[in-house]
Structure formats: C-alpha cells, structure tokens
Amino acid sequence: MKTIMFDVDGVLAEFILSFTTLGHTLHGTSIYTSHQHRAWDVFDCMTPVQYGEVWKHINNSAEFWRTMPAATSQDVFNEIERIKQQEGNVAYFVTARHGVRAKEQTEAWLRDRGIDNPTVVMTKAKGELAKAVGAHFCIDDKATNAWCVHWFTDGKCKSYLRDYPYNADPTMIGSSHVRRVKTVEEFLEEVERS
C-alpha cells in the first residue's frame, strides 16, 4: 500500500515552455524550456510588468492549464495509472496553480492522458499535506517543497526532486535529504521497487 504525491508543473507538465510561449505571444519575449530555465521564478527575458501581465492572462484563462504540453512521455502517465490502480495505492496530484477553474482544468488535463478520476489537491503546503495524508513518496521540482516534505514527515515520506538547472543548487538547506532524479520514470521505478 503506497500513497504517492505528484507535483504537476515541472514534473508532469511543461510549465516553463508554456509560460515563455505565452510571454512571446503577448510581448515577443524569448521562448525556452524547463531544461534551459536557470533560476526558480526568474524570467530575465521579461520586464516585471510583462511578467505580471503573463500571470494576469493565465489567471483569466479557462484553457492555459488545460492545454499545456506534458513534461514526460505518455508511458509515464500509463505507468502512474497502473500503479494507482494497484490495490491499496493512492495517488494525489498536488499543485499551487490558481486562476479560472484551475482545478477542473488540471483534472481534465490528467484525464486526457489516461489518469482515471484523478485526485487533484490545490495547495502550496506540500509538506503539511504529505504529513496529513501519510504520503510514502513525493516528487516535486521545487527544492523547498521537496525539503519541506522530508521535514514535515520526519523523513517518513521519501522526497524526490526532478532535477533541473533551476533547482540544482547543492548548497540548498536540507538537500542531502532529498533524492534527485532526472526523470519521472526513475521515480516510478523507485516506488515500484520498495
């Protein structure tokens, strides 16, 4: 019996590409992917005003979250669904997304990729949630979230960070308690192995 938490943006969904593509559409700024993004929440290609306008557009959009490209192959979604269907296993898709029907957009996006009846939780409080639901495994792309999951659960939840240049600071507090994986496949293999 395993309870598994999946962050959405930066783990399953290609947020940086979507965000910078929208910036390009609105302001003509550069488009790039998660692998080219250098620092958490720093978008040097945009002015603060442009950045704010991109977020305003997202918050008013009924389809930004709904139409985002995946950050993994379809095989990963199939494997998540297979693990989720095993007796006693529970999967939570946890996100700090906001805006028009963000939860419904996220649920529809997951269903489109074969996740049956996905449980989407809207919160920034990943550590608190991991403790509350008794999570055994968690994957995120935000270093502080990964650390908080470890800390709030006294290490009972194995906390994984999907490795990107923007979260690669090895001096980050608590980094020794977080396991880095290059891919979600690697994370799922560890879940299956345990």
Q: What are the residues binding Mg ion (CB under 5 A)?
A: 7, 9-10, 141
Q: Which is nearer to Mg ion, 71 or 191 (CB)?
A: 71
H helices of the chain, in order, are 15-27, 48-59, 74-85, 102-112, 126-133, 143-152, 184-193
In the complex, what is the shortest distance from the CB of residue 106 to Mg ion, in angstroms, rounded to a whole number? 12
Given the DSSP bridges, would you call strands 120-122 and 179-181 parallel, antiparallel or unpaired? Answer: unpaired
In the complex, what is the shortest distance from the CB of residue 28 to Mg ion, in angstroms, rounded to a whole number? 26
In the complex, what is the shortest distance from the CB of residue 10 to Mg ion, in angstroms, rounded to a whole number? 4
Which residue number has the CB closest to Mg ion? Answer: 10
Q: Which is nearer to Mg ion, 7 or 79 (CB)?
A: 7
In the complex, what is the shortest distance from the CB of residue 87 to Mg ion, in angstroms, rounded to a whole number? 29
Q: Which is nearer to Mg ion, 27 or 36 (CB)?
A: 36
Q: How far apart are CA 164 and CA 39, in angstroms?
A: 9
Q: Provide CB contacts within 8 A for 122, sequence distance 6+.
A: 95, 96, 97, 98, 102, 103
Q: Which residues sit opposite 137 in a β-bridge?
A: 4, 158
- 34 three-state secondary structure: helix
Q: Which is nearer to Mg ion, 51 or 88 (CB)?
A: 51
In the complex, what is the shortest distance from the CB of residue 9 to Mg ion, in angstroms, rounded to a whole number? 4
Q: Which is nearer to Mg ion, 10 or 127 (CB)?
A: 10
Q: Provide CB contacts within 8 A for 81, sequence distance 6+.
A: 114, 115, 116
